[in-house]
Structure 1
Amino acid sequence: MRAPLGDLDTESSENIPMSATRGNLRRISAYFHPYAQESWLILLCILLGSIFGLISPLLIRSIIDRAIPDSDMYLLSLLALGMLGSSLVAGLISVAQNYLSNRIGQGVMYDVRNQLYAQLQGLHLGFFVNARAGETISRLDSDVAGIQNVVTGTFVNVVAQAITLTSTVIMIFYLSWPLAIVSVLILPLFIIPARRVGKIRRALTSETQQERADLTHILQETLSVGGYVLMKAFGRESMEKEKFRAKNSVVMKLQIRQALVGRWYFMIVGLFGTLGPALVYWIGGSLVLREAMTLGTVVAFVAYLARLYGPASSLASVHVEVTTSMALFERIFQYMDMRSEVTDQQNATVIKQSQGEVEFREVSFHYRQDYPVLQNISFRANPGEMIALVGPSGAGKTTLTYLLPRFYDPASGFILLDGIDLRNISLESLRKQIGIVTQDSFVYHASVRQNLLYANPSATEEDMRSACEDAQFYESVRAMPWGFETIVGENGYRLSGGERQRLAIARVILAGTRVVILDEATSSLDSVSETLIQRALEPLLKDRTVIAVAHRLSTIRRADQILVLDHGRIVEQGTHSKLLNEGALYAELYTTQMDWGASVDAGLLSSRRGKPDAS
């Protein structure tokens, strides 16, 4: 069963059942299937490297037992060259092995990062509302980057050390089975303590990654343009420095603990590593004194012990590394297993060109079960009509607009486009039919051209110029140093608020959609900018079905229908004149605007009604 969206708490590594770990191992192994050829070549390199690694001790034995006693200079030179040649070949094989393992590691990391990014893109808006961007980026960046070490180090080491250990055991039993038994009996001392150390390091890795995600989140908030301006405006530099220093200190201490944990264990393992050669020299030396064994055999046997205890120690630490690496994969799989509440149905309808007919039928929605935001919303917008949404702040106006492009699905009821339930339309084709201009339209840190072409990559220069002229933005573009190639800065901070809005309007005009969602925001603009935006909206609203969260009186008056929302319900519905004559909430909002010059959104009314903002 997939994890529910928003359940982000990482389970303690020590409490994860073995079946879950085995399931993760199966999932991890699937990422290696596309690299089967490289994997077999790595295995071949490991086998050849292990074989050449067995040659040098045998050559040493021949030097001690034959070449030196027989004063055979030719044989001595030949054996010495053989040692040099075997080491050279083993080194070249190691280089090839490292190249292949890095190629697989980078490939797996590339695949996982692409899959994780695609998964995140498929999640619905609620995930991004609740999740911290810094943590999401940390999992996509730091956690995925950790996979490289897992592939190039851990997994390859498991195979390499296992083959080395097996081949060495065979060789030492060939040389002397009594000495081999003594050497092998020491092996459990290297392995038994490994599990406990592995659990500790695994838990520390998970905690460290979480704290690093928190650190990334602080960096992202305080070093963005908006965060920087806010920090400077309130003089909170010292507070933010202290907060960063405290979190950075936590990360530092955790990384020190992570580096040092198990070092006492490895020190003891090192002592065990000297016990084996000592016993071999003592037992083997007594056999040499009794002429039951040659000195060369004892020396060669001790040389092999490095290939026995080294891999045994590495395999013990590999167990530690594998369990540590599992923490990274578990954090990645946690996001991979999240399900979006908004998905395509099988055989979903693909709409090429919408007619623009929108209908809500008894639609209700809530963010939490105990807090309804919209209740029994019903209305119809015929092609080319404008529906104005007005009401106090928190009435649910913006939430209603989120349902049309399926950023969320309604809890009950139906929303139809051209008579088709939105849930039966493919998400991609649905969203191509809808243009959105929000209160604070987002623009990328890129050129004006790139921001415009985001809506329609195939648009020509003439298309862009025409859209900008319609949006009253072309004169601003002409005044820029590099015209359409001018970089607008992070979220358009090099543009004025009015220019950013007009760029967003030009972008939607360029998209050529038949349905437009408009969330007007002009309260923070000067009168000139507001006038330009009002002119820019003329071509945008023409011959399009428009759902507008309306603040401006001119927009409300031209609407074919006005829906007055309050506490998530439509409390009034009609034209401007009809609603004024009824003398209810709409008339009150209108009077407030006329008296105070405020927006029809009537933020003052929100505080009067004591309603939390859900719009």
Structure 2
Amino acid sequence: MTATPTQTPPRTPATSRPDRDLSGGHGGRGLRGVQTVDPRDRARLASAPVSLRRVVALFAPFRARIGVVVAIIVVTSVVGLAQPFLVREVVDVAIPQQDVRLLLLAVGAMVAVAAVTQLLGVVQTWLSTQVGQQVMHGLRTTVFTHLQRQSLGFFTRTRGGEVQSRLVNDVGGMQGVVTSTATSIAANVTTAVATALAMVALSWRLSLLSLLVVPPSLWLTRRVALLRREVTARQQARLADLNAQIEEGLSVSGVRLAKTLGTSGRSADRFAETSEDLVGLELRSQLAGRWRMATMQVVFAVIPALVYLVAGLPATSGGMTIGTLVAFTALQGAIFRPLMGLLNVTAQWVASMALFSRVFEYLDLVPDVPAPARPVPLDPARVTGRIVVDEVTVRYPGSSRDALTGVSLEVPAGSTLALVGPTGSGKSTLAGLLARLLDPDTGRVTVDGVDVRDLDPDVLASVVGTVSQESYLVHASVRDNLLLARPSATEAELWRALAAAQVADLVAALPDGLDTVVGARGHRFSGGEQQRLAVARTILRDPPVLVLDEATSALDTATERALQTALDELARGRTTVTIAHRLSTVRRADRIAVLDAGRVVEAGTHAELLARGGRYAALVAAAEDAPTPAAALPA
């Protein structure tokens, strides 16, 4: 059996973290946010490195579209650089010489350049987003399907929020590899190189000046981002706390718990405290490094001033024209954006690879209960239901003892086997083997002579039906819940199944009948009503083998009687394995197996076991002496 994947706290996708929004300014223009590598991302990649070839393979089917995106980025960057040169022609030639024709051509070209670059930008966004979404869709679907193949043990060991986080947040954040990281590299490299070449072409003297002032400006900007990092990390942690409090406090179960324990006031106070902390952290985030930001703004103001100074001094101007000066200033302001973008590439790349690592970890999980490579064909309609448990031993991971040890049982077709015994004796483990919720370490379980491990999972689900103590109804209508068992069922068949489960009158009395929404986890109905709806769903499935896992435990006598009637109807003509709770159920079983500490200590009919005066007789005596309206075997 495989180990549980590393469980790291769910966090915001890389493309939308708060520290991605830190900004400086240049001449009134905002700079791209400065990003720093998250230590969690580095640690993640150190423990679970990602093969670049595996990542590239995800995008291989879209290589043509990705090539078009890169080409559009390059063309857009080059075409956009025409604007400063057009401005120079207007300022130096067209306006001074009153050349109307040149002025119209230059102005028209400016408009055309803006229109072309914006149009290309729309096409680029459409293509890159389409590729990212299709890759994300394929990966998300693959992960979901793969996780469905995992055993119940995986979901028992793994936090529910962790699974949702990887499917939604991590897969969603990975889209940034195409729409953010890859495109930003291409765009920023192209723009920075082309802008630098254009600056040199306009004035090599002013370009040398830029080499002196640009590096310290970038350094100051990055320092501000580093100062804000700690505050941002604390903000994320408190936001996670706030989300957890909302999820816990405003769910159906959470509200019920708060009302029954009287903790509503304390929950509200705790929520207010967390919210107030966020206020203080936001203030710190906005003020962090403010003096450095102010210094940086002064530097950014000095840059164009120095350019004007150098251009105006006779010794350094080199005969520079006004148009060249205006064009160069525009280029110098524009070069900061791609340079800042290139500074962010490392952080973006590490964050993206960390997300891939988390998702690939789930894809690499080997199911504890794998589907057979070559399933044995079996027609559920022809199954008689003969069950054989042959020398089965099961030990759960991390346990020091066996849950089942050398258990062997046979259930003839159409008969009923009751499993009794104290809590922890292995009853539910044995029942779970039939539905293949887990596999034995040794031995095997067969239905009509076929090992359940050799059956296709969908075929096995058609052969073995289970009604457990915890019936699960999805948040949909009664009709939708029933159709989960057989999507092709007609309305008449739905009502027949409800009638057999002793719940047709209840559903008919509802305002919307079959279309009534059952609510989250079926909370609209009582526990007994939920159980009977689950029985109706199983009747609709019509399996030849039935497993009843303490389906009537913890119910009042009247509800238990109605449900037992439904279960008796369901069990008619089927091979039934019942984890017995009520003595009345045990008496009617064709055969009873008594389990203790994972072993079968007795087996026989009710009368035979009573006559032996062994463990079963002691359980019956204890149940009959219990002061309850309906005698129940100790569980």
Q: For the superposition of Structure 1 and Structure 2, which TM-score range results when normalised by the shorter chain? A: 0.7 to 0.9
Q: Are 2:440 and 1:413 equivalent residues in the alignment? A: no
Q: 1:410 to 1:580 in 2, by over 3 A?
A: same
Q: Are 2:427 and 1:397 equivalent residues in the alignment? A: yes
Distance in 1 separating the partners of 2:354 and 2:222? 15
Distance in 2 separating the partners of 1:339 and 1:212? 34
Q: 1:373 to 1:218 in 2, by over 3 A?
A: farther
Q: Report which stretch shifted further, 302-311 or 593-602.
A: 593-602
Which residue does 1:426 correspond to in 2?
456
SS of 2:410 mapped into structure 1: strand
Distance in 1 separating the partners of 2:289 and 2:431? 56
Q: CA deviation at 1:443?
A: 1.3
Instruction: Look up the equivalent residue of 1:76 and give its one-letter code.
Output: L
Q: 1:403-423 CA deviation, whole Å, 9 max, x = no partner?
A: 222222222222222223222
Which residue does 2:85 correspond to in 1?
58
Q: 1:487 to 1:229 in 2, by over 3 A?
A: same
Gaps of 5+ in 1: 604-615
1:451-600 map, 5 Å: 451-596=481-626, 597=628, 599-600=631-632
Q: CA deviation at 1:541?
A: 1.3
Contact 1:359 1:380 in 2 (8 A): yes
Q: Are 2:141 and 1:114 equivalent residues in the alignment? A: yes
Instruction: Look up the equivalent residue of 1:582 and give its one-letter code.
Output: R
Instruction: Look up the equivalent residue of 1:131 and give its one-letter code.
Output: T
1:145-184 map, 5 Å: 145-148=172-175, 151-184=178-211
Q: CA deviation at 1:389?
A: 0.6
Which residue does 1:78 correspond to in 2?
105
Distance in 1 separating the partners of 2:427 and 2:178? 50
Contact 2:528 2:555 in 1 (8 A): yes
Which residue does 2:29 correspond to in 1?
none
Q: Report which stretch shifted further, 454-463 or 217-226.
A: 217-226
Q: 1:140 to 1:242 in 2, by over 3 A?
A: farther
- Using the size of structure 2 for normalisation, the TM-score is 0.83
Q: Report which stretch shifted further, 485-494 or 429-438.
A: 485-494
Which residue does 2:76 correspond to in 1?
49
Q: CA deviation at 1:454?
A: 0.9
Which residue does 1:7 correspond to in 2?
6
Contact 1:158 1:315 in 2 (8 A): yes
Distance in 1 separating the partners of 2:57 and 2:244? 32
Distance in 1 separating the partners of 2:130 and 2:286? 27
Q: 1:325 to 1:239 in 2, by over 3 A?
A: farther
Q: 1:338-394 CA deviation, whole Å, 9 max, x = no partner?
A: 332111232232433233222222222222231432222211112212111101122
Which residue does 1:362 correspond to in 2?
391
Q: CA deviation at 1:518?
A: 0.2
Instruction: Look up the equivalent residue of 1:39 and give its one-letter code.
Output: I
Q: 1:30 to 1:563 in 2, by over 3 A?
A: same
Q: 1:111-158 CA deviation, whole Å, 9 max, x = no partner?
A: 333233223222211122232323332333334443455543343222
Contact 2:550 2:579 in 1 (8 A): yes
Q: 1:162-212 CA deviation, whole Å, 9 max, x = no partner?
A: 211122233233334454455356665577799999999999999987876
Distance in 2 separating the partners of 1:318 and 1:258? 23
Which residue does 1:345 correspond to in 2?
372
Q: 1:539 to 1:20 in 2, by over 3 A?
A: closer
SS of 1:351 mapped into structure 2: coil
Distance in 2 separating the partners of 1:529 and 1:385? 25
Contact 2:50 2:356 in 1 (8 A): no
Q: 1:291 to 1:474 in 2, by over 3 A?
A: closer
Which residue does 1:123 correspond to in 2?
150
Q: 1:49-104 CA deviation, whole Å, 9 max, x = no partner?
A: 21221111111222233234434344334323332332233223323333333333
Distance in 2 separating the partners of 1:328 and 1:203? 21
1:197-346 map, 5 Å: 216=243, 218-245=245-272, 277=304, 280-286=307-313, 291-346=318-373
Q: CA deviation at 1:496?
A: 2.9
Contact 1:366 1:372 in 2 (8 A): yes
Q: CA deviation at 1:475?
A: 2.3
Number of residue pairs matched? 601
Q: Are 2:117 and 1:90 equivalent residues in the alignment? A: yes
Instruction: Look up the equivalent residue of 1:397 and give its one-letter code.
Output: K
Contact 1:109 1:148 in 2 (8 A): yes
Q: CA deviation at 1:589?
A: 1.2
Q: 1:588-607 CA deviation, whole Å, 9 max, x = no partner?
A: 1111221223654414xxxx
Instruction: Look up the equivalent residue of 1:155 and give its one-letter code.
Output: A
Q: CA deviation at 1:548?
A: 0.7
Distance in 2 separating the partners of 1:292 and 1:169? 21
Q: CA deviation at 1:6?
A: 4.4
2:168 to 141, 165, 180: 141
Q: 1:144 to 1:241 in 2, by over 3 A?
A: farther
Q: 1:571 to 1:362 in 2, by over 3 A?
A: same
Instruction: Look up the equivalent residue of 1:357 and give its one-letter code.
Output: R
Distance in 1 separating the partners of 2:615 and 2:47? 60
Contact 2:421 2:596 in 1 (8 A): yes
Contact 1:134 1:216 in 2 (8 A): no
Gaps of 5+ in 2: 10-38
Q: 1:17-50 CA deviation, whole Å, 9 max, x = no partner?
A: 5796552x54444443344344333223322321
Q: 1:58 to 1:429 in 2, by over 3 A?
A: same
Contact 2:92 2:323 in 1 (8 A): yes
Which residue does 2:23 correspond to in 1?
none
Which residue does 1:602 correspond to in 2?
634
SS of 1:12 mapped into structure 2: helix
Q: 1:344 to 1:250 in 2, by over 3 A?
A: farther
Instruction: Look up the equivalent residue of 2:579 and give its one-letter code.
Output: V
Contact 1:14 1:199 in 2 (8 A): no
Q: CA deviation at 1:285?
A: 4.1
Q: CA deviation at 1:15?
A: 3.3
Q: 1:262 to 1:16 in 2, by over 3 A?
A: farther
1:382 to 412, 423, 427: 412
Contact 1:377 1:569 in 2 (8 A): yes
Contact 2:74 2:186 in 1 (8 A): no
Which residue does 1:40 correspond to in 2?
67
Contact 1:8 1:334 in 2 (8 A): no
Q: 1:535-587 CA deviation, whole Å, 9 max, x = no partner?
A: 21223112211111011223212222211111222111111111111212211
Contact 1:201 1:320 in 2 (8 A): no
SS of 1:388 mapped into structure 2: strand
Q: 1:231 to 1:530 in 2, by over 3 A?
A: same
SS of 1:170 mapped into structure 2: helix
SS of 1:525 mapped into structure 2: coil
SS of 1:140 mapped into structure 2: helix
Q: 1:300-338 CA deviation, whole Å, 9 max, x = no partner?
A: 223222232221012213433443444444443443343
